Every structure is written in C-alpha cells, then in structure tokens.
Chains A and B, each alone.
Chain A
Amino acid sequence: MSEAAATNTPAKTKEENKNIKLVNDATCTFCGCVCDDMDLTVDTDENKITKAKNACILGKAWFFEHTIDHERPVAMIDGKEVSVEDAIEEAAQTLVNAKFPITYGLSDTTCEAQKQAVAITDLIRGNIDTTTSVCHGPSGMAFQGVGEMTMTLGEVKNRADLVIYWGGNPAESHPRHFGRYSVMPKGMFVPNGKKDRYIVLVDVRKTKSAGVANEFIQPKPGKDFEILWALRALVKGKKINNSIEKETGVSIETLENLVDRMKNCQFGVLFFGMGLTMTRGRHFNSGALLSLATDLNEYTHFVAKPVRGHGNVTGADNVVSWQTGYPFGVNFSYGFPRFNPGEFTTTDLLSRGEVDAAMIIASDPGSNFPKAAIEHMHKIPVISLDTKPTATSKLAHVAFATSTYGINTSGTVYRMDDVPITLRPAFESPFPSDEEILTAIKNRVHELVKAKRYRN
C-alpha cells in the first residue's frame, strides 16, 4: 500500500512535488518595451521559469531559454577555465596596459553595471560606446541637432488618437507595443481603444505590423527623408512638385491626407524605427521626422519617440549621458570626455584598426559588426561578459559567463520612453552579475592605475 493511500490523501503528481515560486509583476528585459506585468512561475528545484503569464512570444523565449548552464565555466582565459580572480586580474592588466582600450555594448545589462563600465573607461582613459551607435545613434545625434518632442508611453496610451509607425515592424520586434501602449489600450481620452485611434504604418515592406494599421504607406527604399521633408513643406502650406510620387513612390494626395490628419488630431505620435537610422540619410532622416513633430505643435500636440531595441539600451544612453555628458561614442583619452560619432564609435574604431584592447559587455559585435571590425577583434585581446556563448565570447581572450538581468539579478532598467523600472529577479544563479564582475575589475584597475601613476 502506498503512503498516500495509507494517509487517505491523493497521490501527488510529479509536478505537484516540485517547489514552485510565483513572482508577480516581474519585468521582461528582452526588448525596449520592458513590460513590467509578468507573472512568472518558477521551478526552484531546477531553477527555471515554467510559465510567463502576459509575456509575448519573444518574452516567453527570453524567460524559458535563460536557464542555468552548469557546463559553462564562469571564467576562461584563451578558452581554458580559470578562477574568477585570475580572470579579473588578466582583464584589469589587459585594460591598463593597452594604449587605446575600448568598452562597448551595455544594452542588455543593468544601469548599475553600466555605471561601473563608465568608471573603468574613465580610469583607463579609454573609449566607451554602446549598441546605441548601431541602433538609434543617428537619432541621438538628431536630438542634439533639432530637439525632441517627447512623452511617456502612458501618455500615448491615455491620449493618442493618431499613431504613426515609421520604418519599423513592432509586431515582430516589440510584440506588445500595440497591445500595451499605443493601439489597443483604452485610455482616459480614448475610451474605446483602437476605435478612437487612427493608425498609420510607413514602411518599405508590408510587414505583419500592417495588420493593425488603418492606412499603410509604402515608399521606395531610401526615400524617407524626401517624404518627411515634403510633409514638413505641406504642413507649412507650401506647394509640392508632382515629381514627388515618381521620386518616392508616394502620391501627393496621400501626403496631403496624412498632413490633414496630423494637423487635426488631438494628440499625435510618430514612433520611428531603424528603417530611418540604418539607411541613407541616417541622422538627417531622424532629424527630419523630429522636426516634423516639432512643426506640428503649431497646430496640435504632436510627439515623436524612437522604438528602442534591447531591454536597457535606453538606460545605457541615460547612464553614459549623466556620467559623461554624452550618450554614446565617448572618448576619455585626454582625461575628460569628448563625443564624436564616426571618430569614437566602435564600428569605426575597430574597422580602422585603431584600438588595441576591447571590453565587450552584454553584446555580440563578433557576430553583427561589419567584416573589417570583426577581423580586427580577432587581432586584439578581447574581454567579454555575456550570459550565453556568442561569437564574441568565442574569440575573447578573457571570457566571463554572467547571470541574466531581470531573471537572476535585480537592478534598474529604462523603458524606451526613459521611465526607470526596478527588476524583480526570479531565481538565483551561480554565475556572478555583470555589476559584480565589473566592480571587481574596476577596483583592480584603480589599484593598477594608481601604482602606475606613482611609478611615473
């Protein structure tokens, strides 16, 4: 007779015997939406998340796939397992002895870790840049040039009756953007949700995002600037030459109708993606869109916001800005921060072969940078911090395996609208956090730099 039958209680299934923990209002840090309404079910025996209520397809993959890989060493030098202390010593020596070291990445880690990375770069008089430079870096340049009519996503949810997406596919890159913030939600001044809003999608491809749009506008590739400038002219009451349709693929009538809608809405928003920043024109495209939003404030309330990618790329902009005065591409070689995209941005520095050491945190330029940059990474000592093996960690001289922010470690991240959110971790990891490793490197770098200064 089984024990359960003897005590007259039903036998527990294998599932019921597990130690389960619920974490409510956890935050997903996969994309820039940073949704903070996740209800997670955690199997604390196996240290894995088994359910993620409210998560989108990308969020589910994020929570379910970040498990503990017990086979992976915490620290390696040239592919061989070493102690964390030895790896920290080697990383610090590499950075201090380099003539032109760089720090790069940072968009998938906490603000607390980002802060340590800036401090290290300052101490070694290196160069710090984030994945922003190959994301919305051009928009960052445009902000400085023409300003930003900004808002929070909460304002969009409660007020926006005209929502225009330009050069992006949130249905696949930010799946909950529509449902949680901009299209579907019922808000204070849009009580009927989508019925009270007009949604426009402007893109060179008819993507899955077109499904929610009332209107889809398909320009020819690389013609965004021309269309945005034509819209600015129309907003100001200027006449546009008929050749615009042949040039851009969009008719004057379509542009006039859009201008009419933009001028007559109550609260308009332009969300823009990397279709603007990664194509010909780059910061001029973003600048044209931001100027259009500014112009429209002569007639109504209009705002613009880049749809940011990685979970804490917005935090990286904020931290680097408040610590150095500039958002990305910052150089400390003179002992004070200087900003110059094209000169101090990582693609350029690596492709030109100028740097002799690199610390890469929570990103994978070894896979997604141009060939010339990757080739140079193979020639110099690279220090990598990442939660999973990547092309970058494979080529690294010193590789740290770290825990996952938001799943294993707490900290602060910024949503794409610059709203800071505190993370609620689900389970502990045997791997150290990025912040712990970076703090240890910083402390050792500080000692080495001090000793070097006294020697000289």
Chain B
Amino acid sequence: MAETMILVPGRSSSQGTSLNEGKLKDEYKKVTSTAELNEKDMKRLKLKDGDKIRLKSDVGQTVVTCKSKKDEELPSGMIFIPYGPPSSELMASDTAGSGMPLSKHMEVTVTKAR
C-alpha cells in the first residue's frame, strides 16, 4: 500500500565524509541511498531496517534502502535522506521564479520495493 509522506533531504556527517572520498565511489552511493523513516511508520508499512522502498514524486522515482529512526527524532510522515542523486531524481525543476527548486519539502509516495 502506498502512503504519501514528506521527504526532507539534507546533510549528514557520513554524506560529508563520503563526498570527500569521491561522489562516484560506493560509500557515497550507499549513504545517499539510505532513507530514514519514523519507526512507527515503518512498522505500519511492514518494513524493517535494510528493506528497499520505492519513493515516487510527480517527476521521478527511486529505490532506496530504509532505516528506522526513533519517534522523537523524526516525526511520523517524514522521511530524511542525505542529499545525493536519489533525492535529485525526485526534485521538480520549478523554482517559482526564485532559482531554487523545492529541495527539502517534497511530497512522495512510499511503497515497499519488490
């Protein structure tokens, strides 16, 4: 079953360190392909750490690995992912005349990837 959630890409320590190793290296790809979800949301969606999920926006889709976060750290209905090619895949190009695409507040549907 697909659920709509808010995707918030951002920086993380491991994204920063792996970026320095090289953006074409495996570690960077792994870090930027791991999304954090609220633990209760994961339970409801019958997901466990390491499962693959498909995130879909109006402009694209991507498959990433999921990892649970405590309820107090990440609110229900929100997904965090370190900036990288998977989050860009979901980003619309409209900037509303500002030059800035909506990069941190993207509506996505979440389903378990087979």
Q: When chains A and B are docked, how far (Å) is the Cα of A35 from the Cα of B106?
A: 33
Residues of B within 8 A of A371 (CB): 59-60, 88-89, 91, 93
Contacts of A347 in B (CB 8 A): 93, 95, 99-101
State whether the Cβ of B11 lies closer than 8 Å to any Cβ in chain A. yes
Q: Give Cα A64–Cα B98 distance, bound, in whole angstroms.
A: 37
Question: Is the CB of A73 closer than 8 A to any CB of chain B?
Answer: no
**Contact digits for B1-42, partner A, Cβ 8 Å, 1 yes 0 no:** 000001010111100110111111000000000000000000
B85 contacts the other chain (CB 8 A) = yes
| B73 close to A30 (CB less than 8 A) | no
Q: How many residues of A contact B (CB 8 A)?
A: 59
Assess whether B75 is interfacial by the CB under 8 Å rule: yes
Residues of A near B74 (CB, < 8 A) are 205-206
Cross-chain contact of A388 among B13, B23, B85, B92 (Cβ < 8 A): B23
Query: Within the assembled complex, what's the spacing in Å between the Cα atoms of A206 and B101?
Result: 24
Partner of B99, one of A65, A309, A348, A374: A348
Which A residue's beta carbon lies closest to that of B9?
A278
Cross-chain contact of B103 among A134, A207, A351, A367 (Cβ < 8 A): A134
Q: Is the CB of A172 within 8 A of B16?
A: yes
Docked-complex contact B96 and A61, CB < 8 angstroms: no
Contact A278 B102 (CB under 8 A): yes
Q: In the complex, how many angstroms separate the beta carbon of B39 from the nearest chain A beta carbon?
A: 13
CB < 8 Å A-B pair total: 150
For residue A325, CB closer than 8 A to chain B, the reply is no
Q: Given contacts A367-B88, A374-B88, are A341 and B99 in contact (CB under 8 A)?
A: yes
Q: Closest B residue to A345 by CB, please name it.
A: B99
Q: Once the chains are docked, how many angstroms separate the CA of A375 from the CA of B15?
A: 24
When each residue 415-444 of chain A gets 1 if its CB lies under 8 Å from chain B and 0 otherwise, what string results?
000000000000000000000000000000
Q: What is the CA–CA distance of A346 and B93 in the complex, to the nearest angstrom?
A: 11
Binds B, one of A2-10, A15-23, A279-287: A279-287
Given A58-B17, A368-B84, answer yes or no on A342-B59 (Cβ-Cβ < 8 Å). no
A204 and B75 contact, CB distance less than 8 A: yes
Q: By CB atoms of chain A within 10 A, which of B78, B93, B102, B103 has the most? A: B93
B99 touches A391 (CB 8 A): no
Residue of B nearest to A376 (CB): B93
- Which residues of B in the span 41-90 have a Cβ within 8 Å of any Cβ on A? 59-60, 72-75, 78, 80, 83-85, 88-89
Say if the beta carbon of A389 comes within 8 Å of chain B.
yes
Tell me, in angstroms, the Cα distance from A233 to B102 when the chains sit together.
Answer: 27
Which listed residue (A137, A278, A345) contacts B104, Cβ 8 A? Answer: A278
Contact call A169/B20, Cβ cutoff below 8 A: no
B residues less than 8 Å from A279 (CB atoms): 102, 104-105
- B10–A169 touching, CB < 8 Å: yes
- Shortest Cβ distance from B97 into A: residue: A342
Beyond the given A141-B98, A275-B104, A329-B99, please list 14 additional residue pairs across the A-B interface where CB-CB is below 8 A.
A134-B100, A134-B101, A134-B103, A137-B98, A138-B98, A172-B12, A278-B102, A278-B104, A280-B102, A280-B105, A371-B60, A371-B88, A371-B91, A374-B88
CB-defined A-B contacts under 8 Å, sample of 9? A134-B101, A138-B98, A138-B100, A173-B10, A221-B105, A274-B103, A342-B98, A342-B99, A346-B99
B residues engaging A (CB < 8 A)? 6, 8, 10-13, 16-17, 19-24, 59-60, 72-75, 78, 80, 83-85, 88-89, 91-93, 95-105
Q: A interface vs B, CB < 8 Å? A: 30-31, 57-58, 61-62, 64-66, 129, 133-134, 137-138, 141, 169, 172-173, 175, 204-207, 218, 221-222, 274-275, 277-280, 282-283, 309, 328-329, 341-343, 345-348, 351, 364, 367-374, 388-391, 394
Task: Across the A-B interface, give the 5 residue pairs with the lowest CB-CB distance, nearest first.
Answer: A345-B99, A342-B97, A351-B93, A370-B93, A278-B104
